[in-house]
Each structure stands twice: as structure tokens, then as C-alpha cells.
């Protein structure tokens, strides 16, 4: 009896299905595949085995039924008739092993354009709190006392210069009385007392009453009167009230009494210096202790240049006056902005305008010079016609590009193939020409005490004090910088030339100015005086 083959497990698949050969060209997959060809193969194998299994069971049942003979040609009384033809169980089909999966294709990432990170300019310094010194009330009083002492010494010096125009000492005055014909001793004593008391009018009258010469009497009166004025200056100085007006009035009196000459000129200069110091005294008397940076605007200030303070240090007196250390020379008083007082360059013209225009940094750029005073027509790549006005540019992107144009007049046509860079139309004696353009910008920080930070074409740069930096490019140059207040960045697009770092008089902040613009540097028009013992 043929052996039944038990197919692979997986449940009942229905009635008998004859085995089928594998489909030609079939590539097997794993057992979990739902491919129809694999399912058909499995059904064929299992169905065939299942049919054989049923036949074996039927034969066993027939052998147990002894009432009937086993005749393959007869039907059995099992409820149905069936012809049985023995058949050989086919060999099981073998499912092919899965072919190895192909290696995945290695996909390379596409090239990305590098991101542009905008470089932020480093902050610039204008007037840091570290430069400012604070004066307490005691400091101010000490300075005022020193000024009073210096003024007193200068009054002594003025008195020495005026000794021939002031009343003489007692012995000399007695000799003058004798020479003038005064013999009455009592009258002489009265005249001496009147001179000591500063009573010029009484001294004159007594002199005349004593039969002295009237010219001598009037001369004595003038001398006593001048001494009184000098004594009044001393008194006002000791009280801290000596003013420029007081010294000016005294100088006028001296000028009338002294004849023209070197002595008078020297005395006038001496009194002028005292008048400047009186101004200083007045400023100190009205100063606010510990003023810090209070009240320092953009306008003009009274500036005291003090050689006894460290250079660059500043004392704000809080009343529209600053004292600036020079560490050398003599004291000077004048009018200036704070920037000028600190030795910074101050502009008087307009700064370079700000720009938000996008500037090309690659490819081909065409430009018509500002100075050309004429428009230029041209054709790009034999397809596109353009006309460019003076001072305009056109960015064509990455080349190559062909640019053709008529030179004008009888000079014919010109044609160029351009790859990258900036090219400028310029008039010449041969008509219009197209020149390769190189931009050169000089940042000039001369005349300023500190360094200046900026960013040029997105690269951070610093120009030192009293120095310059030169930048070149095939394209227009972008400069960004902080003005010194920390309130954002200013952006300029520069072509060619020298640009000076200077302080705007409008707001006391840094800006860039073309070298062609008017500008000024503090020169100091203040009078030079001696203070605190400096000669």
C-alpha cells in the first residue's frame, strides 16, 4: 500500500489538489511571504498529502468491514460511490532558499550651501564711567582753597609790579612831604593816618591844607585809590568772590595810570591769567559733588584742562563744566564738546549715509561710474538689452557672460566675455571703455585716543588709535559698526576713498565721514594760565 505523506502543518486547505510544478522563473521569498506562487506550491503539497492520508484511512475502514470483500472495482456502502485508482505519492516539492537581499545603495547627501552667519561688530567705547572721577564736597573745597591761595600770590606779584604806582612806605612818604614843602608835624601825622585808612580824598585835602604842592596831592590821591582797589581784590578773593569783572575793572584803572610799555603789557597779561582763574573759581563754587556723568549732553561745555590730573581722566562738575586731565603743560580753560575735550576727532559735515541695499559678493557686476555723466546701452549674451544711468549697478550672477556695446561715435563696437568681478563703464578719448573695477576703502582712525571696532564684508576688524586700515574687494564694501551707545549696528556701503572715524557733534557718538567732508579737531582756544603752583 502506498505510504501517505504528511504535508507541512497549517490547517486544512480543502479538497484534493494535484501537485503543480514550480512556476518557471520564480524567485523564492521567506515563509512569511504572501506571494501567490508560494501559496500555490504549499497548497499542492499539502493537498496531495491530505488526499493520500484520506485514502489510507478509507482502506483501513474497508479492511475492518468483513461483510464485504475488498474489491477495488466495486463501490462500498459508505454513503457514496467512488472509483479508486491507486496512485503513487509524488515526491515533495522543496521550497527554494531565499536569495540574499541586495546590498542597499549608499545614497550620498546633496551638497548644501554653507549658511552665512552675520558677524556682530564689537562694541565701541565713547565715555566709559571708568574715565570719570568723582569729587566730593571736601575735594571741591580743597581745590577752591588752593585757587584762593594762588590768586593771593598773584595779587602779591601784581602789587610788586605796581609799587611805583602805589603809596610808598611811611619813611618814604615823610620824605615826599618834606620835599613838597610840608613842615607841620601834626599835619604829616594826619596825612599818614589818612593813607593808612585808605581815605584818598582826605589825604589829598590835608596835603593841600599843609601847603604841599597840589600836583603831589593829586598823585597821592591816585596811589591811595589804586591801593584801595587792590585791597578790595584781596578781600573778595579771601571770601571766594573774586570775579573776572573785578579784575577787568582793576586792569582798566592800571592801564590809565601806567604809561605804555613793557611793564604795563606784562601786568595786563598777568591780570588776564588771574581773570581766567577767577572763572575757574566761579565754576568750582557752583559745582555739584559726585556728579558722575550727569548733564553731559552733546553741546558745548566749559572745559578746564588740568595738568595735575592723569591724562584722559574727567571730572564732571555738574554745572556744564568738565575738568580734563592732561598730566603736563599748564592749565587751560575754554569751550569745547566733551569729545573735543577728550582729544577725539569731531566732524562738522554729514556722515556717510546708512544703506540697506543688498550688495553683490559674487558673479559679474556692471557699473556706470558716477562721474561718467552719461547713460550706456549694452546687450548681454546677445539677447538682453539694457541702458544704465550714471552711478547705477547691475548684478548678473555667476558667469560667463558676454557684454557687447557701442563705444560711441566712430569707435565701433566692443564685446567682452566676463566671468566674475565688477566692471565699470567709463568715458575715454576712445569712447566708452569697460574696466575691471577694484574697490579700495581706507578706515582712518587718526586723531582718536582709542581703537575702533567694525565689521567689513562680514569679517571683524579693529583699527588702532592713530592708525589706518585698508580693505580691497572686487565688489562694493560693506562696513558695520557700533556707534558707542550699544543701540544697534550702523551699516554703510562704501565704494572708494578714505573714511574718517569721528564723533558726531549732534549726539556725541561715532560715525564714518568721507575725507572730503569738512571736519574739525579740538585745538583749544582757551587761555593758558598757571594753577596749583605750575609755572
Give the helix/strand (H/E) hosting 186: helix 185-197
CA distances from 22 to 37, 38, 47, 109, 174 (A): 8, 9, 15, 43, 159
Question: Where are the alpha helices (H) located in 85-165, listed in sequence order?
Answer: 137-161
Residues in the chain, total? 535
Sort 274 into a burial class: Cβ within 10 Å, 0-12 / 13-18 / 19+: buried
Sign of the Cα torsion 371, 372, 376, 380 reads negative
User: Under 8 Å CB-to-CB from 259, ≥6 apart: which residues?
Assistant: none
Helices 185-197/214-238 angle, 10° precision: 30
CA distance 454 to 465: 14
Q: Which long-range contacts (CB under 8 A, 24 or more apart) does 233-241 make?
A: 233/155, 234/152, 234/155, 237/148, 237/151, 237/152, 237/155, 238/148, 238/152, 240/144, 240/148, 240/281, 240/285
DSSP H/E element including 197: helix 185-197
Q: What is the pLDDT of residue 335?
A: 87
C-beta of residue 479 within 8 angstroms of C-beta of residue 441: yes
183/410 Cα distance (integer angstroms): 116
β-strand partners of 132 = 314
The residue with cell 580743597 is: 142
- Do residues 346 and 503 make contact, with C-beta atoms less than 8 angstroms apart? yes
What's the gap between Cα 243 and its chain centre?
45
Q: Beta-strand (E) ranges in 359-509?
A: 364-368, 376-380, 384-388, 393-397, 401-406, 413-418, 421-428, 431-437, 439-444, 452-456, 459-463, 468-473, 477-482, 489-494, 497-503
**Alpha-carbon span 331 to 421, nearest angstrom:** 57
Low-confidence ranges of the chain (pLDDT < 50): 1-77, 79-80, 519-535
- H or E element, residue 232: helix 214-238
Q: How far is CA 242 from CA 143, 237, 282, 440, in A?
A: 15, 5, 8, 59
Q: Are 340 and 508 in contact (CB under 8 A)?
A: no
Q: Is the dihedral of CA 156, 160, 165, 170 positive or negative?
A: positive
**512 to 65, 345, 443: CA distances (angstroms):** 122, 11, 8
- Report the distance separating Cα 479 and Cα 465, nearest Å: 18
Q: Which three cell numbers stand for residue 302?
A: 566749559
Rounded distance between C-alpha atoms, residue 173 and residue 14, angstroms: 161
Neighbours of 508 (CB within 10 A): 21
Helix (H, G, I), strand (E, B) or coil at 260: coil
Question: What does the pLDDT look like over 56-69, one tens digit per residue?
Answer: 444 444 444 444 44
Name the H helices within 323-464. 338-341
C-alpha–C-alpha distance, residues 320 and 301, integer Å: 6
- Bridge-based pairing of strands 421-428 and 497-503 is unpaired
Alpha carbons 228 and 62: distance in angstroms, whole number: 167
C-beta separation of 434 from 441 below 8 A? no
Q: What are phi and psi of 190, to 5 degrees?
A: -65, -40
pLDDT at 144: 87
Q: What is the pLDDT of residues 142-196, one digit of tens each?
A: 888 999 999 999 999 999 999 999 999 999 999 999 999 999 999 999 999 999 9
pLDDT of 119: 92
Amino acid at each position: 500500500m502506498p505510504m501517505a505523506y504528511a504535508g507541512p502543518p497549517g490547517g486544512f486547505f480543502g479538497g484534493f489538489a494535484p501537485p503543480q510544478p514550480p512556476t518557471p522563473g520564480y524567485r523564492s521569498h521567506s515563509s512569511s511571504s504572501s506571494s501567490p506562487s508560494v501559496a500555490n506550491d504549499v497548497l499542492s503539497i499539502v493537498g496531495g498529502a491530505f488526499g493520500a492520508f484520506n485514502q489510507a484511512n478509507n482502506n483501513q475502514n474497508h479492511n475492518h468491514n468483513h461483510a464485504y470483500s475488498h474489491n477495488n472495482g466495486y463501490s462500498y456502502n459508505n454513503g457514496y460511490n467512488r472509483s479508486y485508482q491507486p496512485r503513487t505519492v509524488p515526491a515533495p516539492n522543496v521550497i527554494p532558499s531565499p536569495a540574499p537581499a541586495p546590498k542597499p545603495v549608499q545614497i550620498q547627501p546633496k551638497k548644501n550651501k554653507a549658511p552665512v552667519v552675520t558677524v556682530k561688530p564689537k562694541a565701541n567705547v565713547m565715555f566709559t564711567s571708568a574715565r570719570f572721577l568723582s569729587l566730593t564736597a571736601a575735594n571741591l573745597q580743597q581745590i577752591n582753597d588752593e585757587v584762593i591761595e594762588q590768586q593771593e600770590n598773584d595779587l602779591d606779584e601784581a602789587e610788586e609790579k605796581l609799587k611805583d604806582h602805589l603809596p610808598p612806605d611811611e619813611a618814604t612818604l615823610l620824605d615826599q612831604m618834606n620835599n613838597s614843602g610840608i613842615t607841620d608835624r601834626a599835619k604829616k601825622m594826619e596825612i599818614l593816618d589818612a593813607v593808612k585808612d585808605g581815605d584818598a580824598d582826605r589825604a589829598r585835602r590835608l596835603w593841600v591844607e599843609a601847603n604841599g604842592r597840589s600836583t603831589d596831592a593829586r598823585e597821592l590821591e591816585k596811589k591811595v585809590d589804586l591801593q584801595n582797589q587792590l585791597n578790595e581784590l584781596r578781600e573778595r578773593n579771601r571770601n571766594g568772590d573774586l570775579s573776572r569783572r573785578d579784575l577787568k575793572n582793576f586792569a582798566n584803572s592800571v592801564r590809565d595810570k601806567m604809561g605804555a610799555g613793557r611793564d604795563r603789557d606784562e601786568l595786563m597779561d598777568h591780570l588776564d591769567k588771574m581773570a581766567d582763574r577767577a572763572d575757574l573759581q566761579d565754576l568750582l563754587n557752583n559745582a555739584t559733588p559726585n556728579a558722575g556723568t550727569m548733564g553731559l549732553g552733546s553741546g558745548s561745555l566749559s572745559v578746564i584742562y588740568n595738568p595735575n590730573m592723569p591724562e584722559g581722566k574727567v571730572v564732571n562738575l555738574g554745572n556744564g563744566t568738565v575738568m580734563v586731565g592732561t598730566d603736563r603743560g599748564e592749565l587751560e580753560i575754554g569751550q569745547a564738546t566733551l569729545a573735543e575735550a577728550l582729544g577725539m576727532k569731531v566732524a562738522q559735515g554729514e556722515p556717510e549715509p546708512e544703506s540697506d541695499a543688498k550688495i553683490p559678493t559674487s558673479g559679474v557686476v556692471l557699473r556706470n561710474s558716477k562721474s561718467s555723466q552719461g547713460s550706456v546701452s549694452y546687450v548681454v549674451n546677445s539677447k538682453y538689452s539694457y541702458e544704465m544711468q550714471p552711478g547705477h549697478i547691475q548684478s548678473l550672477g555667476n558667469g560667463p557672460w558676454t557684454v557687447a556695446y557701442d563705444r560711441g561715435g566712430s569707435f565701433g563696437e566692443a564685446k567682452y566675455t566676463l566671468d566674475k568681478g565688477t566692471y565699470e563703464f567709463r568715458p575715454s578719448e576712445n569712447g566708452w571703455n569697460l574696466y575691471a573695477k577694484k574697490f579700495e576703502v581706507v578706515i582712518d582712525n587718526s586723531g582718536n585716543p582709542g581703537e575702533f571696532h567694525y565689521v567689513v564684508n562680514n569679517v571683524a576688524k579693529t583699527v588702532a588709535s592713530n592708525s589706518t586700515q585698508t580693505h580691497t574687494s572686487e565688489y562694493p564694501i560693506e562696513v558695520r559698526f557700533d556707534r558707542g551707545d550699544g543701540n544697534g549696528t550702523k551699516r554703510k556701503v562704501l565704494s572708494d576713498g578714505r573714511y574718517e572715524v569721528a564723533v558726531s557733534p549732534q549726539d556725541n557718538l561715532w560715525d564714518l565721514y568721507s575725507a572730503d567732508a569738512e571736519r574739525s579737531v579740538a585745538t583749544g582756544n582757551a587761555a593758558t594760565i598757571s594753577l596749583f603752583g605750575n609755572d
